[in-house]
């Protein structure tokens, strides 16, 4: 298919706060525009766009090869952002939702996890009340507990209280920030029946091997499919792959993680880095096409989950990622444009 040459790109602000606020990448090819939330540094996204000017919007494998050759954290996010916008663009051009480009949806409704946060000053009862409001309002069946760095006895108390409050059918997960201490693996922790514990930033840690067991360990967030993820799979030190579409190499990166998950029989948990509607819609569509993505999609911002009903989001049939720019958005600054 000809005539789909990448012609230009710009970073548009999602609010009046301009360059300091969340931005969306708008990329143009063949008279169509595609959009994706900017993950990571805007400058890196624009630099990658400039490198792609004049190339085909469809040639994602050629881009992947170039990306793999020069991959770091900033590069991964820039690559993922641009890929997501290009896949949105292709969907719009062909008039089909992203999931149809990927082979069709395996499920029309996708489970969403409710984010529950432990603030330093919050009591156990207050955390349970926070979770109850979310469950009562939207029917969530999975609670994702974000520990603010206090992992230990207090976290275990919160998890135990949530289990008592919501019963054995409620999915419970624990997300620990980088550098925090894992809770002791003991009978009490195992008895809580957690879906998994994610310990950010320790994917290369040798402790993982020793900790493997119940509850399962999740990892891989922010990584793209490659030697490190492959080694984690090979050694069996991860039971759940956490996949962020922005930082894992975008749509083609998630496809590769999905393949690894199938080959090594791991679960795949789609997650959003931020709380934009684009990220959530994208993660939901990707989860709908991945056989191993039966875990609820994680969005860290409860405010973005207003459309969740019965703990699920229903796929839209809109083209591409399925989210349009709100009218009246500001234009991009000249320095945020590649053409």
Partner 1 sequence: MSAIARITLRRIELKLRMVYVSSMYVMDSVRRTVIEIETEDGIVGIGETLGTDEVFVLAGRLAAGMIGQSPLARLKLRNGFARSVFDNRNGRTGWSAFAGLDLACWDIAGKTHGMSLAELLGGGGKRRIEVVCPLPALIVDRLVRRRELGAMFRDHRNIDRLVAYALAQRRRHGFRCFKYKSAAADVEWDVAAMRALREALGRDAQLRFDPNAGYGPARATALCARLEPLDLEFYEDPTDDIEGLAKLRARMTRPVATNMCVIQLDHLAPAIRRGAIDVVLADIFMWGGVQNYREMAAVAESCGLKVAVHSLFESGIGTAANLHLASGLPQIARANDSGHHVIADDILSPSLPDVADGHLPLPVGAGLGIALDPASLARLTVGEPVIVTA
- In a 13 Å sphere around the CA of 72, the CA atoms on its Cβ side amount to 3
Q: How far is the CB of 88 from partner 1 (least distance, A)?
A: 15
Binding mask 221-250 for partner 1 (x = CB under 8 A): ----xxx-xx--xx----------------
Q: What is the DSSP letter of 24?
A: E
Q: Strand, coil or helix: what is 118?
A: strand
Structure tokens at 265: 């029989």
- Assess 311 for contact with partner 1 (CB under 8 A): no
Task: Please report how close the Cβ of residue 104 comes to partner 1 at its closest, in angstroms.
Answer: 3
126 binds partner 1 (CB under 8 A): no
Q: Rounded to whole angstroms, how far apart are CA atoms 300 and 304? A: 9
Paired tokens of 187: 């009978």
End-to-end CA distance of the chain: 22
Element (H, E) at 38: none
Q: Taking CB under 8 A as the criterion, which residues in 45-74 touch partner 1?
A: 56, 58-62, 64-65
User: Residue 91's Cα: distance from chain center in Å?
Assistant: 20
When binding is defined by CB under 8 A, the residue of 85, 241, 255, 297 that contacts partner 1 is 255
Site residue total, partner 1 (CB under 8 A): 36
Q: Candidates 264, 275, 294, 314: give the one binding partner 1 (CB under 8 A).
A: 264
Q: How far is Cα of residue 322 from the mean position of the Cα atoms in its chain? A: 16
Under a CB-based contact definition with an 8 Å cutoff, are residues 248 and 254 in contact? yes
- The dihedral through the CA atoms of 210, 212, 214, 216 has a sign that is positive
Q: Per CB under 8 A, does 32 bind partner 1?
A: no
Question: Cis omega before residue 303 (within 30°)?
Answer: no
Longest dimension (CA), the chain: 61
Our CB check for partner 1 shows the closer of 188 and 230 to be 230
Region near partner 1 per CB under 8 A, out of 37-45, 146-154, 176-184, 219-227: 219-227
Residue carrying the six token digits 């591409």: 320
Residue 251 Cβ vs partner 1, minimum distance, rounded to whole Å: 10
Stretch in the footprint of partner 1 (CB under 8 A) among 190-198, 214-222, 257-265, 315-323: 257-265
Min separation Cβ 134 and partner 1, Å: 31
The answer to the question of residue 317 lying near partner 1 (CB under 8 A) is no
- CA atoms of 246 and 79, how far apart (whole Å): 8
Positions 157 through 176 that interact with partner 1 (CB under 8 A): none
Mask of contacts with partner 1, 73-112, x by CB under 8 A?
Answer: ---------------------x-x---x-xxxxx------
Q: Does 3 bind partner 1 (CB under 8 A)?
A: no
d(CA 171, CA 295): 9
- Please report, as ranges, the residues that interact with partner 1 according to CB under 8 A: 1, 56, 58-62, 64-65, 94, 96, 100, 102-106, 225-227, 229-230, 233-234, 252, 255-256, 258-260, 262-265, 289, 291
């Amino acid at each position: 298919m000809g005539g789909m040459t990448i012609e230009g790109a710009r970073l548009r602000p999602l609010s009046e706060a301009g360059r300091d606020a969340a931005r969306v990448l708008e990329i143009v090819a063949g008279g169509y525009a595609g959009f994706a939330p900017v993950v990571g540094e805007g400058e890196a996204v624009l630099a990658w766009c400039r490198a792609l000017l004049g190339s085909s919007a469809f040639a994602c494998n050629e881009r992947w090869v170039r990306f793999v050759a020069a991959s770091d954290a900033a590069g991964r996010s820039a690559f993922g952002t641009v890929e997501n916008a290009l896949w949105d663009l292709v969907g719009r051009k062909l008039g089909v939702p992203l999931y149809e480009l990927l082979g069709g949806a395996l499920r029309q409704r996708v489970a969403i996890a409710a984010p529950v946060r432990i603030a330093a000053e919050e009591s156990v009862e207050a955390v349970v009340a926070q979770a109850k409001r979310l469950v009562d309002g939207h029917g969530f069946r999975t609670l994702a507990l974000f520990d603010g760095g206090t992992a230990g006895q207090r976290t275990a108390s919160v998890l135990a209280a949530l289990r008592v409050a919501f019963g054995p059918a409620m999915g419970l997960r624990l997300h620990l920030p980088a550098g925090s201490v894992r809770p002791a693996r003991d009978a009490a922790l195992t008895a809580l029946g957690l879906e998994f514990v994610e310990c950010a930033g320790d994917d290369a840690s040798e402790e993982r091997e020793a900790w493997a067991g119940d509850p399962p360990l999740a990892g891989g967030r922010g990584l793209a499919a490659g030697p490190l993820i492959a080694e984690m799979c090979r050694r069996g030190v991860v039971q759940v792959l956490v996949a962020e579409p922005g930082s894992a190499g975008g749509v083609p990166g998630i496809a590769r993680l999905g393949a690894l998950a199938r080959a090594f029989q791991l679960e795949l948990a789609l997650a959003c880095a931020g709380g934009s509607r684009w990220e959530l819609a994208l993660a939901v569509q990707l989860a709908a096409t991945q056989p191993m993505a039966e875990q609820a999609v994680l969005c860290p911002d409860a405010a973005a989950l207003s459309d969740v009903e019965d703990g699920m989001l229903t796929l839209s049939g809109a083209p591409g990622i399925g989210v349009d720019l709100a009218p009246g958005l500001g234009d991009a600054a000249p320095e945020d444009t590649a053409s």
